A = this chain, B = another copy of it.
């Protein structure tokens, strides 16, 4: 099943028109010895057989575990209208809106997405999307390097360790110097940051809430950075912005984050959505596509891709980023999701998550030997100190039907007994109670 429309008869006639004796002639530019007779792959199968195979494979995953896993990726409920609208063929089978008159749907949707991100983060301009929260942070780091002309970056250890790995990976050939600043008691360490900041620093990278779930206000740190001519880059969890101070109002210069929680399924790691917002003064240094408002000849409002001189297809090796295809459909989902929630809904949702997390804490702290780390306030994710190896506990809880959280030992030395637990609006009181009971039982 190759989805080819034409029949043998069509092909015969077309070959004639095009002046070929046979199909092989079409490939005569390819030296014969470089052609293969056939791929060593099985023949195609029918739709129903392929469905059966994938359906069976889908059942070979423990997706039914009650999910307390977070770590930057959250099990929020996705309203049905997000799926329905984002699966409109006109959206998902279109491509980048190079022809604006034939793409006003996509363009306006992205413009609205950019607007929503600006409002959420309290920043002035947001791009059309980047691959994910991690590469967005890398792009922010490089943007800071471009803006400041400096090559050193301070990195708070509360930033998602996966993202820190991404930063290291991408910059390994670029002589960028990173300086990790350890959190103290789960919170960004002002003293160490102040000590590390100097005129060589391009940016300090922070995360709110940080990887341990801790909530912070980085206004003072941003001020410290600015005093040294450095930028403040903040990676944020968008749902938390329903409740928490926006990075823009803390003085952040670049805000990035993972948009998965905005109506995207977890889907085993992607596609996700990197968002990025900044101040207008930096817009020409920003990577990624950008939609702007304009008018047509009769004055009707319309939208186009703009400031393209930043991009690879115009600037080639001098572009701000090499990104081309981004995550447009994911941005659309986020936009629909945020429109569904609206001003009040996002706030209520954030409250709900926070409140439930507080309840979960009361249940866990009642378990002998378990300590809820309370050094910092938290939003919907928090750290438990267990009396034994967290990864062992977690594995036992899988048998009880729970994905109980993320053991911190993998990325934080000496934290082998610590467990990161996330709570979303989908977790019921009963589920939290059952997890607490199960945990008590397996300890």
Q: How far is the CA of A315 from the CA of B288 in the complex (A)?
A: 64
Whether B84 contacts A425 by the Cβ 8 Å rule is no
A87: B residues at CB distance < 8 A = 84
- Closest approach, in angstroms, between the C-beta of A239 and any C-beta of chain B? 14
Q: How far is the CA of A51 from the CA of B88 in the complex (A)?
A: 22
Whether A47 contacts B89 by the Cβ 8 Å rule is no
Whether A77 contacts B47 by the Cβ 8 Å rule is yes
Whether B47 contacts A79 by the Cβ 8 Å rule is yes
Say yes or no for A4: interface residue by CB 8 A criterion. no
Say yes or no for A40: interface residue by CB 8 A criterion. no
A residues contacting the other copy or chain, number (CB 8 A): 12
- A48 interface neighbour in B48, B88, B89, B426, Cβ under 8 Å: B426
Q: Which B-chain residue is minimally distant from A80 (CB atoms)?
A: B47
Q: How far is the CA of A77 from the CA of B51 in the complex (A)?
A: 10
Q: How far is the CA of A79 from the CA of B48 in the complex (A)?
A: 8
- With most chain B CB atoms within 10 A of its CB, the pick from A48, A87, A89 is A48
- Contact flags (1/0) for A80-91 with B, using CB distance below 8 Å? 100010011100
Whether A77 contacts B48 by the Cβ 8 Å rule is yes
- Contact flags (1/0) for A41-68 with B, using CB distance below 8 Å? 0000001100100000000000000000
A51: B residues at CB distance < 8 A = 77, 80
Q: How far is the CA of A80 from the CA of B55 in the complex (A)?
A: 14
A88: B residues at CB distance < 8 A = 89
A79: B residues at CB distance < 8 A = 47
Whether A48 contacts B84 by the Cβ 8 Å rule is no
A48: B residues at CB distance < 8 A = 77, 425-426
Q: Which B-chain residue is minimally distant from A79 (CB atoms)?
A: B47
A89: B residues at CB distance < 8 A = 84, 88
- Closest approach, in angstroms, between the C-beta of A81 and any C-beta of chain B? 9
Q: Which B-chain residue is minimally distant from A85 (CB atoms)?
A: B89
- Contact flags (1/0) for A363-394 with B, using CB distance below 8 Å? 00000000000000000000000000000000
- Closest approach, in angstroms, between the C-beta of A90 and any C-beta of chain B? 10
Q: How far is the CA of A277 from the CA of B51 in the complex (A)?
A: 35
Q: How far is the CA of A84 from the CA of B93 in the complex (A)?
A: 13
Q: How far is the CA of A121 from the CA of B47 in the complex (A)?
A: 27
A426: B residues at CB distance < 8 A = 48
Which residues A178-237 have CB closer than 8 A to chain B?
A: none
Q: Which B-chain residue is minimally distant from A76 (CB atoms)?
A: B48
Which residues A89-108 have CB closer than 8 A to chain B?
A: 89
A80: B residues at CB distance < 8 A = 47, 51
Q: Which B-chain residue is minimally distant from A340 (CB atoms)?
A: B47
- Contact flags (1/0) for A406-443 with B, using CB distance below 8 Å? 00000000000000000001100000000000000000
Q: How far is the CA of A358 from the CA of B240 in the complex (A)?
A: 62
Query: What are 11 of the A-B contact pairs (CB < 8 Å)?
Result: A47-B77, A47-B79, A47-B80, A48-B77, A48-B425, A48-B426, A51-B77, A51-B80, A84-B87, A84-B89, A88-B89
**Could you tell me which A residues sit within 8 Å of B by CB distance?**
47-48, 51, 77, 79-80, 84, 87-89, 425-426
